[in-house]
Amino acid sequence: MLGRGHIERVAERVWEIRKTFRNDMRVPARLYADEDPMTGEVAPASFHLKEGKRYRIRMHNASDDIHPIHLHRHSFELTKISGRATAGILKDVVMLGGYQDAEIDFVADNPGLTLFHCHQQLHMDFGFMTLFDYV
Ligand SMILES: [Cu+2]
């Protein structure tokens, strides 16, 4: 059970990664995790995590599509959904409904390349994925 003290600590050391998902499926840090078929290059990570830090991803879906948002290799805590604060809900996928907002927190506790993406294959094909690494 997450106590009050836990929530206060989060507020002190949260980093926000803001993402807005639009109908054209372009996201601000559009990246692919594997090789670019045209160049053979591997895309660099878009966000650099420090081990032990707690991060917040604040998301707004600016489309009417549902996006099942998945973070690999970590569990996250759903801390807000549609403006309502929540606590103690640990997941690795959250369904972000049309025009819905959500916030998730996770602790960078598993060093290595980490994929963050929408789980709809078509959306991934259009670049709705990005890579985190540890520095
Ligand atoms: Cu999607």
Distance 125 CA to ligand 1 centre (A): 10
pLDDT at 83 over 60: yes
Distance 8 CA to ligand 1 centre (A): 32
Distance 23 CA to ligand 1 centre (A): 9
pTM of the model: 0.75
Q: What is the Cα–Cα distance from 67 to 81, expressed in whole angstroms?
A: 14
Helix (H, G, I), strand (E, B) or coil at 32: coil
Distance 31 CA to ligand 1 centre (A): 14
pLDDT at 34 over 90: no
Cβ neighbours of residue 61 under 8 Å, at least 6 residues apart? 20, 21, 67, 96, 97, 98, 99, 100, 101
Going from the N-terminus, what domains does the chain have, and what CATH number goes with each?
4-134 (2.60.40.420)
> How far apart, in Å, are the Cα atoms of 130 and each of 2, 24, 26, 30, 88?
29, 16, 11, 7, 26
Determine the pLDDT at residue 45. 75
Distance 48 CA to ligand 1 centre (A): 23
Determine the pLDDT at residue 60. 84
Distance 67 CA to ligand 1 centre (A): 4
Bridge partners, residue 101, by sequence: 60
Determine the pLDDT at residue 121. 86
Of 4-8, 13-17, 77-81, 96-100, the one with minimum mean pLDDT is: 4-8
Shortest CA distance to 68 belongs to which of 132, 111, 129? 129
Distance 13 CA to ligand 1 centre (A): 29
pLDDT at 88 over 60: yes
Average pLDDT of the chain, as a whole number: 76
Distance 56 CA to ligand 1 centre (A): 19
Distance 99 CA to ligand 1 centre (A): 12
Distance 4 CA to ligand 1 centre (A): 34
